[in-house]
Structure 1
Amino acid sequence: MIINAFNGVITLIILIAVGFFLGKKNWFNESTDNLMSKMVVNISLPAFMIANLNTSFTKEQFINSLGGYLLAFLSISTTYLIGSFVYKFFNISKDRKGVFRALFGLSNTIFVGLPVNISIFGEKALPYILIYYIINTLFFWSIAAYDIRCDGKKTSGGFFSKSNLKNILSPPLIAFILSAALILLQIQLPVFLVDSCRYLGNLTTPLSTIFIGSILSNMNYKEMKVDKDSLLILIGRFIVSPIVAFVLLSFTSFPLLMKEVFIVMSAMPVMNTVAIVARQYNGDYKFSSVLNATSLIASFMFIPIYVFLFKYLL
């Protein structure tokens, strides 16, 4: 598994390097980056779910995995709450409250988490990846996005606003609900539809990694200074979050693979959507953008360490 972890990380680095190189060659710009992001979130990832969930779960296995959703929620919400205490204790700027807590508590589950976990554990890990992704996404759009809007003083819509609910009902979540219904009703999709979704779904990893490389190619590395706030975020992402997940999982009898996936997912870089939402609502999006790059680079050092520790701790 350790060799798989290194191979997986190196594979991702190569794919990211392709995106970085093409970004430096001006093949990509803000429009193409937005296109790749939309392709992943709105097309390839939903197709990936539909193509793989029905073959990954039986009805009984799906029902038995429901405890995983609760565990993922407890892990994320606990880390988010710890981030709130850290924010108060270290006197972080009030204009950065929502952004800080979101960066501290939530993982980049798609653009990094999905390809990393599949590279390490194989496609058999997909059901557990999607469980963590669904909870992480719901938490972001229901709670964290509202906190970020508070940073920019744009909270007129309220927590249960139409726009907030619309963001929660994203294409991947709709695809997950559809797949869950098909599993519970034991309905098999036509082969041509499954194959079409599989072809589209196979775009998810290459598009995600090339997207990251393109973003990194446009970063101003002079701004990538690890100050106190940044260091606290990195500690939250790579130390606090996986420890919380490990402690909670130690009280369960979940399958070993689920435990491993959840710990790796909890230790992913910051959620790149934080910067997008912060920019939209006049939050500190520059701070978020810098953390996107620094946490991504740091993750390549921490991920093999976690996989090595699995051998002794799980």
Structure 2
Amino acid sequence: MIINAFNGVFTLVILITVGFSLGKKGWFNDNADNLMSKLVINISLPAFMIANLNTSFTKEQFIGSLGGYIVAFLCITLTYLVGSIIYKVFNISSNRKGVFRALFGLSNTIFVGLPVNISIFGEKALPYILIYYIINTLFFWSIAAYDIRQDGKSVNNKFLSKENLKNIISAPLVAFIFSTILILLQIKLPIFILDSCKYLGNLTTPLSTIFIGSILSSMNYSEMKVDKDSVLILIGRFIISPIAAFILLSFTSFPLLMKQVFIVMSAMPVMNTVAIVAREYDGDYKFASVLNATSLIASFVFIPIYVFLFKYLL
């Protein structure tokens, strides 16, 4: 497993380097980055979920995994609440309250979490990756995005708003609900549909990693200063969050693989969508963008450490 962890990390480094190199050569711009992001979120990831959920779960296995959704929610909620406390204790600037808590509490489950976990644990980890992803996404669009909007001085959205509901109902969530219905009703999709979804779904990892490389190539590294707030978020992402997950999971009898995936998912870099929402609502999007890069770099150090510790703690 340790070798797989390093192999997985180095594989990602190579793919990200490709994106970084192409970005430096001018192959990508904001439109290209937006296209890759939209392709992953709206096309390849939903297809990936449909193809794999319907071949990874039986009805009995799916029902048996429902407790995982609750624990994933508790893991994220606990970390988010700790971030809220740290925000107050360390007097973080009020104009980045929502951004700080979102960066502290939520993981990059798709662009980094998905390829990392697949590289380490293989395709058998996919059901558990998707469980954590769904809860992470719901939490972001329902709670964290609302908090980020409040950072903008001219925004005063209600929590229970049409816009919030629209953001929650994303293409991956629709694909998840559709797959859930098929599993529970024990309906099998035609082979040609599953194969089509599989081919489209296979685009998820390469597109995700090239996207990250492209973003890194456009970063202004003179702005990547690691200040107090940045250090606190890195501590939250790579120490507090996985510890919270480990403590909560230690009280469960879930399969070992589920525990391992949840811990790795909880220790992923910051959620890249935070910067996008912050920019749209006049939040501190530059701070969020810098944390995208610094937390990604830090993850290459921490991920193999967690996998090593699995041998002794789980």
For 2:155 and 2:287, the matched residues in 1 are separated by 21
1:111 corresponds to which residue?
111
1:32 corresponds to which residue?
32
1:179-258 map, 5 Å: 179-258=179-258
Q: CA deviation at 1:160?
A: 1.1
For 1:83 and 1:140, the matched residues in 2 are separated by 14
Q: CA deviation at 1:153?
A: 3.0
2:52 corresponds to which residue?
52
1:23 corresponds to which residue?
23
1:268 corresponds to which residue?
268
Structure-2-length-normalised TM-score = 0.99
For 1:163 and 1:32, the matched residues in 2 are separated by 26
Name the amino acid aligned to 1:236.
G
2:163 corresponds to which residue?
163
1:141 corresponds to which residue?
141
For 2:48 and 2:286, the matched residues in 1 are separated by 32
Q: CA deviation at 1:268?
A: 0.1
For 1:292 and 1:155, the matched residues in 2 are separated by 24
Question: Which segments of 5 or more consecutive residues in structure 1 lack a partner in the other structure?
Answer: none
For 2:129 and 2:154, the matched residues in 1 are separated by 33
1:93-104 map, 5 Å: 93-104=93-104
For 1:154 and 1:17, the matched residues in 2 are separated by 39
2:287 corresponds to which residue?
287
Q: How many residues align?
A: 314
Q: CA deviation at 1:222?
A: 1.1
1:80-91 map, 5 Å: 80-91=80-91
1:6 corresponds to which residue?
6
Assess if the C-alpha contact under 8 Å between 1:146 and 1:155 holds in 2: no
Specify the SS of the correspondent of 1:153.
coil
Name the amino acid aligned to 2:14.
I
For 1:218 and 1:306, the matched residues in 2 are separated by 30
Residue 278 of structure 1 pairs with residue 278 of structure 2: yes
Name the amino acid aligned to 2:17.
A
For 1:231 and 1:82, the matched residues in 2 are separated by 15
Identity %: 83
Assess if the C-alpha contact under 8 Å between 1:129 and 1:265 holds in 2: yes
For 1:61 and 1:92, the matched residues in 2 are separated by 44
Q: CA deviation at 1:149?
A: 0.3
1:151 corresponds to which residue?
151
For 1:259 and 1:3, the matched residues in 2 are separated by 19
Q: CA deviation at 1:155?
A: 4.2
Q: CA deviation at 1:154?
A: 4.7
For 2:190 and 2:153, the matched residues in 1 are separated by 49
2:129 corresponds to which residue?
129
Name the amino acid aligned to 2:176.
F
1:259 corresponds to which residue?
259
Q: CA deviation at 1:245?
A: 0.1
Q: CA deviation at 1:156?
A: 3.3
Specify the SS of the correspondent of 2:4.
helix
Deviating beyond 4 angstroms after TM superposition, the runs of 4 or more aligned structure 1 residues are none
Q: CA deviation at 1:90?
A: 0.1
Assess if the C-alpha contact under 8 Å between 2:149 and 2:156 holds in 1: no
Question: Which segments of 5 or more consecutive residues in structure 2 lack a partner in the other structure?
Answer: none
2:64 corresponds to which residue?
64
Name the amino acid aligned to 1:52.
N
RMSD of Structure 2 on Structure 1 (CA): 0.6
